[in-house]
Structure 1
Amino acid sequence: MIGLVWAQAANGVIGRDGTLPWHLPEDLKHFRTLTAGATVLMGRRTWESLPPRFRPLPGRRNLVLSRTPQEGVETFADLPAALAAVSGDAWVIGGAAVYRAALPYADRIVVTEIRESFDGDTHAPEVGRAPDSAGEWQESASGLHYRFLTWTGTGAQPD
Structure 2
Amino acid sequence: MMLVPQEELTKIDNYTEVDRNRLELVGPDLLCAEWLLRNGAAVRFKGQPSLVSDYNALMEIEELPESSQFRVEEIYAKDVQLNFAGFEHMKGCKNVEKITLIKCRYINQACIIRMTYVKESLKYLEIRSCYNLRDDGLKELTAFSNLQKLILSDLPGVKRKAECKETLQRKLVNCDIQYD
> Structure 2 length normalisation: TM-score?
0.28
Q: Normalized per residue, which structure has more helix?
A: 2
> Structure 1 length normalisation: TM-score?
0.31
The structure having more radius of gyration, on CA atoms, is 2
